[in-house]
Amino acid sequence: MYYGEIKNCDIANGIGVRVTLFVSGCTNRCRGCFQPQTWDFSYGREFTRETEEEILRLLKPAYIKGLTLLGGEPFEPENQRALLPFVKRVKEIYPDKTVWAFSGFTYEEMKTEGSHPRCEATDELLDLTDVLVDGRFVEELKDISLRFRGSSNQRIIDLNLTRQRGEITPWEG
């Protein structure tokens, strides 16, 4: 897997101060995407063990609330397979920090057998994610007043409550 950028002290992509990883590769290719360069699966730098260690170091301060995954597309199958062992490490080392993920795929697409982007890593990666912002960016629905979303069709899902209740539960923030 490749990544385009790591942001430390990010306050735009989830609650609190976060470390954000922009992965590379996206088959959604939404019109009006703010980072079309990240559609290329080889964009940026290779995600290595050293990259993981750097992110873990950046996550250490108490004021950092967690990790945010976006891109590109974290839920492309090849990215899920690379992210899963890393996110497991994050949760083991920092169990009180949250994981947010942004995806152009919907939660329903991720849970539907045989659909893209579902793969063997999907359920476990979703289980390690606290909040999911889902849905493709739709330029005609762009709304800069929305919190943590680019277009009004996108949802912010509290995955912890969704798992507890057995139904999609919006994040209330």
Token pair 């996206």 is at which residue?
Answer: 26
**With left for phi above 0 and alpha for psi between -120 and 50, is residue 166 left, alpha or beta?**
left
For residues 110 and 73, give the distance between their C-alpha atoms in angstroms, rounded to a whole number. Answer: 13
What number is the average pLDDT over the span 139-143? 96
| Residue 102: its H or E element | strand 98-103
Token pair 């994610």 is at which residue?
Answer: 129
For residues 38 and 4, give the distance between their C-alpha atoms in angstroms, rounded to a whole number. Answer: 7
For residue 61, the model assigns a pLDDT of 98
Which of 141, 152, 3, 143 lies closest to 68, judged by CA?
A: 3
pLDDT digits (tens, 9 = 90+) for 38-60: 999 999 999 999 999 999 999 99
CB hemisphere CA count around 140 (13 angstroms): 0
pLDDT digits (tens, 9 = 90+) for 4-39: 999 999 999 999 999 999 999 999 999 988 889 999
Which of 80, 81, 2, 67 lies closest to 38, judged by CA?
A: 2
Supply the pTM of this predicted model: 0.96
Task: Indicate the domain borders of the chain.
Answer: 2-165
For residues 68 and 108, give the distance between their C-alpha atoms in angstroms, rounded to a whole number. Answer: 21
- CATH architecture of the domain with residue range 2-165: Alpha-Beta Barrel (3.20)
Distances, alpha carbon 27 to alpha carbons 1, 79, 123, in Å: 14, 12, 20
Average pLDDT, the chain: 97
